[in-house]
Amino acid sequence: MHPVFLTILKRLGLGVLTLLVVSMVIFSAVEMLPGDFTEAVLGQRATVETVAAFRKELGLDQPAILRYLDWLGSVCTGDLGTSFSGRDASGIDRSRPVTELIAPRLTNTLFLATFTAIIAVPLSLILGLLTALYRNTIFDRSTNITTLTAISFPEFFVAYTLILFLASLFQIFPSLSNVDENTLFFERVYMTALPAITLTLVTVAHMLRMTRAAIINLLASSYIEMATLKGTTKLNIILRHALPNAWAPIATVVAFNLAYMVVGVVVVEVVFVYPGIGQLMVDAVTSRDIPVVQGCALIFACTYIFLNLTADIIGIVTNPRLLHPR
């Protein structure tokens, strides 16, 4: 078997293990709830029978390990449990399954994330490459100061400044992105323009700095100096000597920042009232609807781990030294 294949398999196994432990951590959130939370969910007028039924539904009469395995089994088959909201003291249950709440919002969030990535990734890679090639020029320095400032800004500051100028003073884009499933594609793009621009600005700053650092690091190595000394053209150095070794750091940078975007999405969605999974999670935290919080956290954590894993694997697959072992 090819040694690269083995390394990838090992990395995949590690990823699955991490996921398993993370799921355990997220599951134990319910364990840490105070004992009287059933009353808090059902209301003070709840009868002893409704409380007992609710506890039985949550499986609180069983040991934690059995409940975890049960929960894990249903999560794997796509069942994230039922929301705490919509229940009341009378025992009438109007609660909805968590999957039903999450599914439409997940597509919205994915749309926003893909939209942003399509703009942000090429933009920051090109700018990062340019600043690395023309380093210590005015162009590089001004970009450096701009990105350093942009990183220090909270997302909501960027978002509201954009709203002030692009939606309020000059009404170019709508300030609310309340799309629904009937919104047509182009209208949807137009309505999500402002959240996408906000996310782009925040992630480009990070991605650009990291790309620049990775490329400069690469250009300092001796084989590049050798290529320069033997008279290879600048374009050829980049394309034939630098780029094959640059894929790994660049992939890491992109994946890392997409993972960063996953988190940034929460604040941006709340600012623009965009019906995504981040807003759902914040609402669930406010109302302490634990199953929904768990579901959202699990999705965020999975995406995060998956993106980091992808970066690792791309790094391994594109590494010429690993591909052609001596």
Partner 1 sequence: MPKSNITNYSAKIESALVYTRRSRFERFWIELRKAPLTAWIGMITVSLYIFVALFAPFIAPYGEAEVFPVPYDVWSDKHIFGTDQIGRDIYTRLIYGARNTIGIAVATTFLAFLIGGFLGLLATILRGWVDQILSRLVDVLMAIPGLIFSLVLLSVFGSTITSLIIIIGTLESTRIFRLTRSVGLNVVVMEFVEAAQLRGESLRWIITKEILPNIVPPLAAEFGLRFCFIFLLISSLSFLGVGIQPPTADWGSMVRENASLIQFAKFDIFVAITPLLPAASIAILTVAVNFIVDWFLHTSSGLKDEK
Compute the distance between CA of residue 71 and CA of residue 60 in angstroms, rounded to an integer: 12
Which residues of this protein are in contact with partner 1, per CB under 8 A? 18, 21-22, 25-26, 29, 32-33, 136, 148-149, 151-157, 160-161, 163-164, 167-169, 175, 213, 216-217, 220, 259, 262-263, 266-267, 270-271, 281-282, 284-286, 288-290, 293-294, 296-297, 300-301, 304-305
Least distance between partner 1 and beta carbon 283 (Å): 9
Rounded to a whole number of angstroms, the minimum distance from the CB of residue 179 to partner 1 is 19
- Least gap, CB of 176 to partner 1 (angstroms): 10
Give phi and psi for 36, each to the nearest 5.
-95, 20
State in angstroms the smallest separation of the CB of 11 from partner 1.
14
Q: Which is nearer to partner 1, 297 or 311 (CB)?
A: 297
State how far the Cα of 40 lies from the Cα of 289, in Å rounded to an integer. Answer: 11
Minimum distance of partner 1 from residue 310's CB (angstroms): 15
Rounded to a whole number of angstroms, the distance between the first and last alpha carbons of the chain is 15
CB 130 within 8 A of CB 142: no
What Cα–Cα distance (Å) separates residue 100 from each residue in 106, 263, 281? 10, 22, 14
Q: Which is nearer to partner 1, 90 or 142 (CB)?
A: 142
Calculate the CA dihedral of residues 63, 67, 70, 75 and round it to 10 degrees.
-170
| The token pair that represents 75 in the structure block | 């999560």
60-to-29, 38, 53, 96, 240 alpha-carbon distances in Å: 14, 10, 10, 20, 62
- Rounded to a whole number of angstroms, the minimum distance from the CB of residue 142 to partner 1 is 14
**Is the CB of 18 or the CB of 318 nearer to partner 1?**
18
Q: Which is nearer to partner 1, 26 or 248 (CB)?
A: 26
User: Cβ(293)–Cβ(277) under 8 Å?
Assistant: no
Half-sphere exposure at residue 139, Cβ-oriented, CA atoms within 13 angstroms: 9
Q: Which is nearer to partner 1, 238 or 290 (CB)?
A: 290
CB of 153 to partner 1, least distance (A): 5
Nearer of residues 135 and 188 to partner 1, judged by Cβ: 135
Residue with smaller CB distance to partner 1, 4 or 33: 33
Residue 19 CB, nearest approach to partner 1 (Å):
8
CB 106 within 8 A of CB 277: yes
Are the CB atoms for 300 and 294 separated by under 8 Å?
Answer: no
DSSP state of 238: I
Cβ nearer to partner 1, comparing 156 with 223:
156
Here the tokens at position 62 are: 């069983």
Say whether 304 sits in a helix, a strand or coil: helix
CB atoms within 10 A of CB 284: 23
